[in-house]
Every structure is written in structure tokens, then in C-alpha cells.
């Protein structure tokens, strides 16, 4: 975790709370490496419009009101990564401030949950972090491979 990110996370901590670890997270953009599929080129693709509802994304398991879905609503693709921070009491998701928004704080808090709500955090390989919550929901996030071991050890 670099010093700038750690300082940004520290601004959102409560009294007596300390940062244990933080890692950049994002989601896969959902594209295949092969480019367009035959289904995407077909004129019939417009017949059934599937809404993009919470819980429909690959790597996300849980009902719409679950912790994993709540977290996933704030995760973006690798072009706009978020900071997932772990403290003694909470799991926090923070984002960089917009380019044209001036603020004393570099990061803004988007989502939080009690640390006790996080059951496990496991490495799925290739920089994929799986978070399992006590409500039975789970989400898989992309992370830099180098930052993952420190987050898992915290």
C-alpha cells in the first residue's frame, strides 16, 4: 500500500481505528478476448433486452439487498479503480475524487461494512480476490497481484 493511499484512507477512520491493509480493486469489463461474438452481431440481439440488475454480473453471488451486491454497485472497471481498505473494525470502499471537484480529502467513502460481516477473503489466482460475507453473498474483484498477499494477511 502506498503512502498516498494510506493517508487518504486514514482520513476516514474513526478514533482508535487503524488501517491494516488497502488494495486497488476493479471489475472485469465483461468483454471476451475474441472480440465480438456471433450473438452480438446478430440482428436478433435486440429482441430480448435484459436489464442490468444488481446480482446479474458474473462473479457476484447474492440477493439484491446483500452486502456483496451493495459493494459491487460501487465497483467500476479497471479505468476507474476503487480502494478496498481493511481496518480492525470495518471494510471500506473508497474512490478518488473527481478531477474537477476540489476537496481536502483525496478519497471519498462509498461503502462500508463491519469487519465481522466479512467471512473470508481468498486469492482466486491471476489477481482475483473473492470476498465471502456472513449473509451468504460473495463477490470476485480484480486486484494488482503484488498488493493481494498483504491484503490477505491482514
Which pLDDT does position 59 carry in this prediction? 81
Which are the contacts of 105, defined by CB distance < 8 A and separation ≥ 6?
8, 11, 12, 97
Cell, residue 110:
462509498
Distance CA 121, CA 132 (A): 6
pLDDT band (50, 70, 90) for residue 43: low
Lookup result for grid cell 503512502: 3
| Average pLDDT score over residue span 81-93 | 95
- The residue ranges of every structural domain in the chain are 3-26+56-153
- Helix, strand, coil percent values for the chain (each to nearest 5): 20, 35, 45
Going by the DSSP 8-state scheme, the letter that residue 48 receives in this structure is S
Which pLDDT does position 101 carry in this prediction? 57
Going by the DSSP 8-state scheme, the letter that residue 117 receives in this structure is G
Distance CA 52, CA 58 (A): 12
| Average pLDDT score over residue span 18-26 | 93
Q: Domain 3-26+56-153 class?
A: mainly beta
Q: Is the pLDDT assigned to residue 153 strictly greater than 70? A: yes
Q: Is the pLDDT assigned to residue 146 strictly greater than 80? A: yes
Name beta bridge partners: 23: 84
| Average pLDDT score over residue span 36-42 | 63
Mean pLDDT of the chain: 83
Q: Which residue has the higher pLDDT, 124 or 55?
A: 124
Measured CA to CA in angstroms, residue 111 lies from 31, 48, 75, 138 at distances of 26, 33, 10, 16
Distance CA 56, CA 52 (A): 7
First-to-last C-alpha distance (Å) of the chain:
12
Amino acid at each position: 500500500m502506498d503512502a498516498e493511499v494510506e493517508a487518504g484512507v486514514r482520513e476516514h477512520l474513526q478514533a482508535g481505528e487503524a488501517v491494516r491493509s488497502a488494495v486497488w480493486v476493479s471489475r472485469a469489463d465483461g468483454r471476451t478476448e475474441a472480440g465480438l461474438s456471433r450473438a452480438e452481431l446478430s440482428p436478433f440481439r435486440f429482441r430480448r433486452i435484459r436489464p442490468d440488475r444488481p446480482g446479474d454480473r458474473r462473479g457476484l453471488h447474492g440477493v439484491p439487498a446483500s452486502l456483496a451486491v451493495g459493494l459491487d454497485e460501487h465497483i467500476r472497471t479497471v479505468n476507474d479503480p476503487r480502494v478496498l481498505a481493511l481496518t480492525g473494525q470495518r471494510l471500506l470502499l473508497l474512490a478518488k475524487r473527481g478531477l474537477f471537484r476540489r476537496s481536502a480529502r483525496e478519497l471519498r467513502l462509498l461503502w462500508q461494512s463491519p469487519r465481522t460481516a466479512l467471512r473470508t477473503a481468498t486469492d482466486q489466482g491471476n489477481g482475483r480476490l473473492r470476498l465471502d460475507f456472513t449473509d451468504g453473498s460473495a463477490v470476485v474483484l480484480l486486484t494488482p497481484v503484488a498488493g493481494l498477499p498483504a491484503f490477505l494477511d491482514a
